[in-house]
Amino acid sequence: LFSPNDVRALIECCRADLSGRSEAKLTPALGPCAIHHGLGGVALRSLLTTRELVSTEALEFKQLTFQTVAESMARAEELRTLTQILSDQRIAYIALKGPALAQVVYGSVAARSSCDLDILVRPESIPIADRLLQELGYVVEPEDTSQSGRYHVAYGHPKKTTLELHWRLNSQRERAPIEQTGIWNRTRGVWLGSLEIRTLGLEDTLLHSCVHGYKHRWTRLKWSADIAYLVRRAKGLDWDAVVARADIAGCRRMLLVGVNLARMLFDVSAPAEIVRLISRDNPAEIVSKQVCNALLERRLLNPREDLLFDLRGRERVGDHAILFAQTLQRIFRFTNQDERSFWLARAFRRPVRLYRTYGVSWVKPWLRMS
């Protein structure tokens, strides 16, 4: 639906929005491109800053992006309602990503779109939060068994947005337990309309955004734009603390890749110390270039590149070994489809399944018959 030129135009919109310049240009498929990358609001804001959009092409773009802006505002309203209910029940929570992040980073919930709401609660609060959500009509969605190590429960609602209730920030597969650095002691308030809600501290937001972007291979521009806006606009970001916590959580390289992408794509300047760390970290540079090329060419990584990408994101040898083992496990694990298409697998698995269910007793009738 859109070309590399549209991606470049979207990047220009973000740069113009970041610097307050008025050089953003409308390209034929900027609308679909901005929506795909979750930055419809930023593109609209950037183009509307100095002029009215009146041409037919511009009105189409406006109509498209208005829809995503409306969605984001409705989601923010839902987040307000939910966090109010949690506060009333004295459940400590942290609003992750989505509207809270958009408000902190872009100064507007409409600027950046999200697909769902994410709320982190302490593990011991999960049962009561679950009960409250079910009372509100939320229904637990089927468990996703493809991920190793669950860290959230997904809820659906017939009339509302999807919600993920987290008890950890990331899956164990990411090998980046940021919560171990004490995120609950550093939460900050952010105003959504007339209500102040709790979200991650600035440094933790930066780290979490980097890990999350890396997990999704930075395939949407919104993830690198989050870093760019945060680095440019957040006042009092304690970089020493960010690096120290990244080292504890084992995600320093993910942090460096995130900041490097913000520099490469959005011309954001980072502190000299961070730039020095990036220049010393060859894999971080390689991965950043790979991401930039993939974004412009709209190319997905093949399985080999994907594994390498995953390995390059980790700096600890132990994490490499675990990741490699997990990948092997994933490769050799039989899926339902494998079983359907490969009858021999079923034949091999059946005795094991019977043994697990009935022990050796299922063999006895056969022995008697023979």
Partner 1 sequence: MKPLARIEHIVVEDLGVEYVVYDSRSKMAHSLNSTASWVWQHCDGNTTIEEMADLLQGQSENADALDAVRQAVQQLRNADLLVEPTAAWASTEGGPQLTRRSVMAAGALAAPVVGSILAPTAASAKSNDDFEKDKDKDKDKDKAKDKDK
By CB under 8 A, which span of 71-79, 241-249, 303-311, 325-333 interacts with partner 1?
71-79
Q: Does 167 bind partner 1 (CB under 8 A)?
A: no
Residues 184-204 as b/e (b if ≥16 CB within 10 A, e otherwise) read eeebeebebeebebbbbbbbb
First-to-last C-alpha distance (Å) of the chain: 66
Q: Does 341 bind partner 1 (CB under 8 A)?
A: yes
Q: Which of 37, 62, 253, 263 binds partner 1 (CB under 8 A)?
A: 62
CB atoms within 10 A of CB 5: 15
Q: Does 166 bind partner 1 (CB under 8 A)?
A: no
Q: How far is CA 165 from the centre of its chain?
A: 14
Cα 114 to Cα 78, 95, 328, 358: the distances in Å are: 13, 13, 32, 48
Euclidean distance between CA atoms 164 and 244, whole angstroms: 29
Q: Does 63 bind partner 1 (CB under 8 A)?
A: yes
Per-residue tokens: 134:
């079910």
Binding mask 13-42 for partner 1 (x = CB under 8 A): ----------------------------x-
Q: 192 or 242: whose CB is closer to partner 1?
A: 192
Per-residue tokens: 94:
């942290």
CB of 295 to partner 1, least distance (A): 15
CB atoms within 10 A of CB 243: 18
**How does strand 163-166 pair with strand 117-121?**
parallel
Q: 157 or 232: whose CB is closer to partner 1?
A: 157
Yes or no: say if 72 and 102 are a contact pair by the CB < 8 Å rule: yes
Q: 52 or 124: whose CB is closer to partner 1?
A: 52
Q: 156 or 283: whose CB is closer to partner 1?
A: 156
Binding mask 201-240 for partner 1 (x = CB under 8 A): ---------------x---x--------------------
Q: Does 115 bind partner 1 (CB under 8 A)?
A: yes
CB of 161 to partner 1, least distance (A): 6
CB atoms within 10 A of CB 138: 21
CB of 138 to partner 1, least distance (A): 10
Yes or no: say if 37 and 294 are a contact pair by the CB < 8 Å rule: no
Q: Does 51 bind partner 1 (CB under 8 A)?
A: yes
Q: Does 78 bind partner 1 (CB under 8 A)?
A: yes
CB of 149 to partner 1, least distance (A): 13
| Residue 166: closest CA among 81, 76, 96 | 96
In the chain, the amino acid numbered 301 is L
Q: Which of 56, 124, 144, 369 binds partner 1 (CB under 8 A)?
A: 144
Q: Which of 55, 56, 145, 146 binds partner 1 (CB under 8 A)?
A: 146
Q: Does 327 bind partner 1 (CB under 8 A)?
A: no
Burial class of residue 165 (count of CB atoms within 10 Å of its CB; 0-12, 13-18, 19+): buried
For residue 140, give the 3-state DSSP assignment. strand
Q: Which of 4, 149, 193, 303 binds partner 1 (CB under 8 A)?
A: 193
Q: Which of 145, 337, 357, 370 binds partner 1 (CB under 8 A)?
A: 337
Euclidean distance between CA atoms 73 and 52, whole angstroms: 22
Yes or no: say if 112 and 106 are a contact pair by the CB < 8 Å rule: yes
Q: 114 or 181: whose CB is closer to partner 1?
A: 114
Applying CB under 8 A, the residues found at the interface with partner 1 are 41, 44-52, 54, 62-63, 66-67, 69-71, 73-78, 108-110, 115-116, 144, 146-147, 154, 156-162, 164, 193, 216, 220, 337, 341
